[in-house]
Structures are given as structure tokens and as C-alpha cells.
Amino acid sequence: MTFKLPTLIATSVVRGSQQGESHGGIYTVDFANRSGELHVDWNTSEIDFEGRGADRGLRGIAFDGDDIYVAASDELFCYDRDFKVKKSFKNHYLKHCHEIIRKDRHLFLTSTGFDSILAFNLDTQNYEWGFRLTRSYEQWGGYTFDPRTGSGPAAVNDFHINTVHVDDSGIFVSGLHTRACLHLDKDWVVSEYCSLPAGTHNARPWKGGILFNDTKSDAVRHVSRDGQQSAFKIKTYPENDIRFSGVDDTKVARQGFGRGLCVVNDRLIAAGSSPSTITIYDIQAGEIVGSVNLTMDIRNAIHGLELLPW
């Protein structure tokens, strides 16, 4: 079957780079021509170099009309269609942000450093709501807080929340250490939508099941409610073709590290990996439709991934 191949927008994070070097950027990837274009090269002296690269690079992506919202670790940037920064928004409770999603007139952002989700009002341009996830006596829970005040939660990263998805039923949240995709309903009750392996990224409901990057297993998976599974091994390359191999002693910068995921249509999905590669999969046929590599630098990994809406 012939598909109309999409143009995607992607962000990347660079592991193990030094001050004065690139720390990732924003790309558009045209699958019809198998080409990528760098629009923003993220290089700032304000990046925190402590830890394993948590503050480096650009993260989640969302759209509002002609505005492109992109998250950095602790700041939300608004770009125009020419990828020029129009404005940006910080908040004390936004730390180590990973993914963002728009629902109606709000952006929802993961605040990994506070085990929380924040809501940003697109009309008032304010962070106006937060939810702190908790677990006690084997039960999930949490509480809301106002991020405009100083009375919110203390910084903690027990669950490493890296994904948020929102639909009419509520908010779905997951992280490296939740071992589940969690559902937050409109009464703020937290329940398990489904179990997940440890170390997942980008988990979200899809077609009645769950779609996610099984990062520890170097695979992309869709599991239906009846247990049927589609799984794809993430693309890797000959070691001789890899640049900066072994530069990161934390082993985070490695081949096959899967992160970044979006739905193209009712049968195609796109997923990112390291070194920065985006691959489109046909879930129904169990086949790879195509792949575009942006760089062979092993430190450079896809983070955010979305369909370009224009």
C-alpha cells in the first residue's frame, strides 16, 4: 500500500557535550524526500552541566495556531512558524520537563523534578494548575496545587514522570519508575490504566490498547486490550559508522535508545531513537515504512516528535 508520507517536527537532546557545543535542536523531517532540516541549534551558557545531561537540549512539542511551543528543562518557549522565539515562560515548579501536550486551551507539561504535571493556560499565558503524584501503601494518589504560589510541593523525582497524554476522559501519566500508565480522572482520582515495563517513554492509549517506547528493550510496542502485540526492534547501525562512541560513561548515550513517539494516522506511527533517527512503522502490516537519520553522533538523541500541522 502507498502512503502519503508526512513531515514531522522533532527536538533532540545531546548527551556528553561540553559548553560551547550544540545541545540539540529543532528539526523538520520530510519523509517524502527522506531529508531533515535543522532550524534551531540549542546552545546556551545557562545550561546546567551537572548530572547526566538533564538540562541539555529541547524536549516536548505542541502547537497552538501558528505558534510552536517547545519545552526546555525549566522553560517553555513559544516560536513562530519561522522558528524565531516570540516569548518564554518559567515557573519554580517546572523542572526537568520532558513532554508536553495541548488539550483545548491548555498545555500540560511533565515536571519530572517535582513528580508533577503542570497546566499552562494558553489564553492567560500563566501556569495555573499543578498535580503532584504520590504513592503510599501500594496505592497511587496525589493532590493539586497552585504553581503561582510558593506553597507547592518540594522537589523530588521518585517516579521520573516523562510522559503526559490528555483526552476527554482525563490525564494519562507514566515514567521510568511508575511501571504503569496511570489515569487521572476529573475528580483527581489516580488509577492504573495498564501495567508497563520499567524504563518506558511516551506511553499513551491508542486504539483501545497502549503504545510506547520500551526503551530498556530497544523496541517500540503496541499492545491491544486482548494482549495482541506489535513490536519493532529499533534501528541500529554498524559501530564503525557511529561518531563519539563511548563518550558517555553513564551509558545513556547508546544506540537503540528509543524516545519520541507520535501517531501519524490510524495505522502509522513515528518513533525516535539514538543516534538521532526517526522511523515510521506500519502497525497493521508489521513493517517499517521508512527511516531518516539526522546525525550519526551517538550523543544526539531524538526527544520530542510530532506531526507538522502545516
Q: 157, 113 in Cβ contact below 8 A? A: yes
The pLDDT, as a whole number, for residue 227 is 87
294/276 Cα distance (integer angstroms): 6
pLDDT reported for residue 45: 47
Q: What is the mean pLDDT of residues 233-247?
A: 88
What's the CATH number of domain 7-307, 2.120.10.30, 3.40.80.10, 3.40.718.10, 2.40.50.100? 2.120.10.30
Give residue-wise pLDDT tens across range 71-82: 999 999 999 999
Checking 73-80 for CB contacts under 8 A at 24+ apart, the result is 73/48, 73/97, 76/100, 76/107, 76/109, 76/120, 79/26, 79/40
For the chain, what are the domain ranges? 7-307
pLDDT at 55 over 60: no
Q: Is 60 exceeded by the pLDDT of residue 59?
A: yes
CB distance 248 to 269 below 8 Å: no
Q: Is the pLDDT of residue 151 over 70?
A: yes
Q: From CA 12, how far away is CA 246, in angstroms rounded?
A: 19
pLDDT in tens, 265-292: 999 999 999 999 999 999 999 999 999 9
Average pLDDT over the chain reads 91
What pLDDT is stored for residue 24 in this prediction?
A: 78
Separation of alpha carbons 184 and 166, rounded Å: 9
Q: What pTM was computed for the model?
A: 0.93
Q: What percent of the chain has pLDDT over 90?
A: 83
Distance CA 228, CA 211 (A): 12
Question: What band does 49 get if pLDDT is binned at 50, 70 and 90?
Answer: very low
Summarize pLDDT for 185-223 with one digit per residue, the tens: 999 999 999 999 999 999 999 999 999 999 999 999 999
Q: Whole-angstrom Cα distance, residue 277 to residue 288?
A: 13
Residue entry with cell 506531526:
307
Residue 2 has pLDDT above 80, yes or no: no
Report d(CA 59, CA 65) in Å as an integer.
Answer: 20
Output the pLDDT for position 247: 61
